[in-house]
Amino acid sequence: MRIIPAIDIIDGKCVRLTKGDYNTKKIYNENPVEIAKEFEANGIKYLHVVDLDGAKSHQIINYKTLEAIATQTNLRVDFGGGLKSDKDIQIAFECGANQVTGGSIASKDPELFLKWLLTYGSDRIILGADCLNRKIATNGWLENSGTDVLDFIKDYETKGIKNVICTDIDKDGMLAGSSNDLYQEIIRNSNINLIASGGVSCLNDLKELELIGCEGAIIGKAIYENRISLKEIQELC
């Protein structure tokens, strides 16, 4: 299982939220590049970067931070947040993203998202399936689509999606364990590569996600709050 630290960005700074609530913002570092370099120095190869300003906007915002991370490290970056047009995704790839994650766009403009999937291929386009009470949430988790998360994933699987990041918003930033029952249900009922996100609090949580068959696990607050050390991640990798 791939272990993928997360850097969430607001105003060019590394932050974390709780349950996606922007009012809970906590700044961990003024310079996300420093964090990315520290990850790389500890043997980490993958990074999940989210433009939280872009997520609730209508365009990519923090692309300069993405570019700085991509040019100053060799981390393989998947990038999401604010990708709502052909121009946005072009900027993300030009600034160094190896993969991009589309969540809101996949729900609100499936025709455009499928065009990206056809243009860039299933290895570079990740489906973002962020849900609250099983319903897909969009626009920085500020809106609820009413679509069941499993139905959402299975529909896109038939259209060629291979990689899915699923976040249970109720677990995000809570450091209380992942939504393993939901992830098991998704894995049982599909053939996608599932990347779990939200709730990881300790090494045992990571081991449980690996046991249920997750292809990857995204970790955020557990690192920043020193629940899991980079040395422990390095040893696990």
pLDDT in tens, 18-30: 888 899 999 999 9
Residue 140: predicted pLDDT: 63
DSSP string, 97-116: -SEEEESHHHHH-HHHHHHH
Percentage above 70 pLDDT, the chain? 99
Judge whether residue 187 has pLDDT over 80. yes
The residue ranges of every structural domain in the chain are: 2-236
Domain 2-236, what architecture? Alpha-Beta Barrel (3.20)
Q: Dump pLDDT digits (tens) for 82-127.
A: 999 999 999 999 999 999 999 999 999 999 999 999 999 999 999 9
Which amino acids are annotated catalytic? 8, 130
Beta strand 135-138 with 46-51 is unpaired
| pTM of the model as a whole | 0.94
Task: Dig out the tokens for 86 from the structure.
Answer: 């052909």
Q: Where are the beta strands (DSSP E) in 105-162?
A: 125-132, 135-138, 143-148
Residue 19: predicted pLDDT: 84
Q: Dump pLDDT digits (tens) for 25-47.
A: 999 999 999 999 999 999 999 99
